[in-house]
Chain A
Amino acid sequence: MAMIVLQVILLMLHLVQNVDCIWLNLPKSGRKCVTEEIHNNVVVLADYVVISDVHIHPTPSITTKVTSPYGNILHHKENATHGQFAFTTNEDGQYLVCFWADDPNQGGALSVNIDWRTGIAAKDWESVAKKEKIEGIELELRKLEAAVEAIHENLLYLKSREAEIRQVSETTNSRVAWYSILSLGICIAASIAQLWYLTRFFQKKKLI
């Protein structure tokens, strides 16, 4: 019965959006985490479903936790066999999604299916099609146009990142040069100071 319900839910999810089934194996105890580096102001949409490999009934439940790079918990759900979450990122950095098996004694390995979409892939084309009353080929071409815009944005982002890296590289380069010359200077200064001090010392001791 639970399997049928799960399949119906999967069916509904699949009809609403394009499906992507990336599966992860959950170990019996311990957790599985996935991270992604996302920048600011990006829409993130995710669906997850748990399937047990060994047809255990009822399906074992899991705990899910989504953490932002600064430690805020964006989604926390326990004792679920399926769920979804959506958020818009406020912070730049690594977003962490973790899954735990709730009951380590429920035998059999668990598989979690994650449908994780960010940015352009998270766009709801159904509502766009309804609002603008376009369908079929025109809708497909719209999707392609949005994809091209996303590519352009990504390119600009990569360009700005490259500029940052180049900045750091050039600073490091100039620092290496200056610090090495300074280290040579300190070496020479230290040896001169030593010689001067020891000469004075020996002259005081009337050995020279």
Chain B
Amino acid sequence: METTMKVCAILGLLLSTLAGDVAALSVTVNDVECVYEYVLYEGDTVSGNFVVVDHDIFWSSDHPGIDFIVSSPGGNVVQTMKGTSGEKFEFKAPRSGMYQFCFHNPHSTPETVSFYIHVGHIPNEHDLAKDEHLDPVNVKIAELREALESVTAEQKYLKARDARHRHTNESTHKRVIFYTIGEYILLALASGLQVVYIRRLFSKSVAYNRV
């Protein structure tokens, strides 16, 4: 584990323009699910978002949501978000190393969480001095790239929110049809049973006009 991390660090230096990010993956969280991402440079901005997508059985709109905890390689908690159904986050990495992003589901129903994590590095004067291939314009290009990445991240967030909205919408659509047709059938059944019961009350075989 340690040697691989060193390999990662060496390669990071070789590639002067490095930006790490993942496509928006989804994990099913039963209790705790953790994802790890390696931050190469201290001071890198780690940004991202997550949205709880799966809500098949949704009886109360007051769902408590899940907890999100980010831990630094030293074990300190960098960020905590409790009881949310989707948030954006951003922080400056206090040190380089393996960061842990954990989702905690306090309830028994498994939830699907779609998340996106981006580690952005902008070369500063220290890097410029070390590597003669780096132009000052590379700094501007890195800033531009980070800005575009933030737009892309926002879009992934919107896409995940849209997916969740679509689930709710389709569920509402299905419920409208099934519940109203069920209601009609039950109504017809109830009136039929009422009539049958009243008939029986007045039927000759029970007792002659006992009612």
Contact of A23 among B37, B151, B155 (CB under 8 A): B37
- B140-184: CB near A (< 8 Å → 1, else 0) gives 010011001101100100110011011001101100110010011
Chain A proximity of B208: nearest CB distance (Å): 11
Q: How large is the interface on B (under 10, 10 to 19, 20 to 34, 35 or more residues)?
A: 35 or more
Q: Is the CB of B191 within 8 A of A190?
A: yes
Chain A proximity of B21: nearest CB distance (Å): 6
Q: Chain A interface: which of B2-10, B64-72, B85-93?
A: B2-10
The residues of B that contact A33 with a CB separation of less than 8 Å are: 27-28
Cα–Cα distance between A146 and B37 once the two chains are bound (Å): 25
Q: Is the CB of B7 within 8 A of A140?
A: no
Q: Is the CB of A205 within 8 A of B8?
A: no
A-B contacts besides A14-B7, A140-B138, A198-B195, 15 pairs, CB < 8 Å: A18-B20, A23-B98, A25-B36, A35-B112, A36-B26, A137-B138, A151-B151, A155-B155, A165-B165, A168-B169, A168-B170, A168-B173, A175-B177, A176-B176, A179-B180
28 pairs from A and B in contact (CB 8 Å cutoff): A14-B8, A15-B15, A18-B20, A19-B8, A21-B20, A21-B37, A22-B35, A22-B36, A23-B36, A33-B27, A34-B26, A36-B26, A116-B22, A137-B137, A137-B141, A158-B155, A158-B158, A158-B162, A161-B162, A165-B169, A168-B166, A168-B173, A172-B173, A182-B184, A183-B184, A183-B187, A190-B191, A205-B202
Question: Between A and B, how many residue pairs show CB distances below 8 Å?
Answer: 169
Q: Is the CB of A151 within 8 A of B155?
A: yes
Cα–Cα distance between A176 and B180 once the two chains are bound (Å): 9
Query: Is residue B17 contacting chain A, with contact meaning CB distance below 8 A?
Result: yes
Cα–Cα distance between A171 and B19 once the two chains are bound (Å): 44
Tell me how many residues of A have a C-beta within 8 Å of chain B: 69
A interface SS class: helix
Q: Is the CB of B191 within 8 A of A53?
A: no
The residues of A that contact B17 with a CB separation of less than 8 Å are: 140
Q: Is the CB of A10 within 8 A of B1?
A: no
Cα–Cα distance between A162 and B158 once the two chains are bound (Å): 11
The residues of A that contact B98 with a CB separation of less than 8 Å are: 23
The residues of A that contact B149 with a CB separation of less than 8 Å are: 147
Cα–Cα distance between A99 and B25 once the two chains are bound (Å): 15
Query: Is residue A5 contacting chain B, with contact meaning CB distance below 8 A?
Result: no
The residues of B that contact A140 with a CB separation of less than 8 Å are: 17, 138, 141, 145
The residues of B that contact A168 with a CB separation of less than 8 Å are: 166, 169-170, 173
- B5-48: CB near A (< 8 Å → 1, else 0) gives 00110011011011111111111100000111110000000000
Query: Is residue A169 contacting chain B, with contact meaning CB distance below 8 A?
Result: yes
The residues of B that contact A106 with a CB separation of less than 8 Å are: none
Q: Is the CB of B198 within 8 A of A7?
A: no
Q: Is the CB of B166 within 8 A of A165?
A: yes
Query: Is residue A24 contacting chain B, with contact meaning CB distance below 8 A?
Result: yes
Given A35-B25, A150-B152, A53-B1 contact (CB < 8 Å): yes
